Amino acid sequence: MRSGTAAAAIGAGATMAVIAAAFIQAASDSPVLNAALSISVPAEYQDLVEEAGHMCPEVTPNLLAALLTQESGFNPKAKSPVGAVGIAQFMPSTWESSGIDGNGDGKRDPLDPEDAIPSAAKYLCNIAQDVKDVPGNKQDNMLAAYNAGTGAVRKYNGVPPYKETQNYVRSISSLAGKANKGGKRGAPVTAQQGVDAAKAAQTMVGKPYSWGGGNGSGPSTGHCCSPRGVSGAETSGFDCSGLTLYAYEQVGVTLPRTAAAQYAASEPVKPGQMRIGDLVFYGSSASRIHHVGIYIGGGYMIDAPRPGKNVGFHPLDSMRDLFGAARPIHSNTQEI
């Protein structure tokens, strides 16, 4: 979604003082996944995911559902800046070689979930075979190859040292693994938990940004280095996902460490349905999320924005690539 549109839908334009005041007053190699689907999937895609998720031993319904959640949030019209399209985010060249006519209508269309979902499962099965002899966890290698290509996985004898790919594998494994541990995926956090998490974040206003800083106990020193080379090793504070992790830890919900993994561990919500405590995410796609904040109403969030800045209240459109909002799942109480 475009940040301006989302902010307008949420009601941007209120002053920070008004927002803050209103906020204060507001209330191994073996698959790790079950064969049964236990991740939240839109009703119109459940049968497709269940059927395609049994195409080969390496692919299960939960793994496929987690991948589609990460790739597009189950948006069949999703398009990335690099040209990937559809619910499974196929690049044109990959679709040309791997897309199938899943519904037998005589067309192969990456924008048609009835074609794209079984195509994604088939492609996963094919690359699982391509990297089956690579050392390391077979599912991790398969997911890494889906994101970065089989050549990269073979070159590095496992998940390549690309930050995006490592986050991609971690996020999907986290979501799918939690579904496995918990049986059925839990319900989203309550409205009161969201308010309380936002209040917890507010107590940290003024704390400095620290790359890699922050945990469930509060501010901490981070590590080196941000994309621009800034180290958090000498600064006690929070980065964006460290702040959200801390805030939700105070209400008994443990989030994964990175922004991308937190999106995967949450349930997307539409702009008109957002409430205080929902997480807002920034990036060009679900697999490229780079920032997260906590929505506090009126088009504002509380976040740890970037090196050199402190935790504070900022408009949702203070960054141009607002991807969407999501509500943490209450059952996500342990990291994978």
The Cβ of residue 7 has, within 10 Å, a number of other Cβ atoms equal to 22
The Cβ of residue 70 has, within 10 Å, a number of other Cβ atoms equal to 27
The Cβ of residue 128 has, within 10 Å, a number of other Cβ atoms equal to 21
The residue from 44, 50, 71, 249 that is catalytic is: 71
Active site residue 71: yes
Active site residues: 71
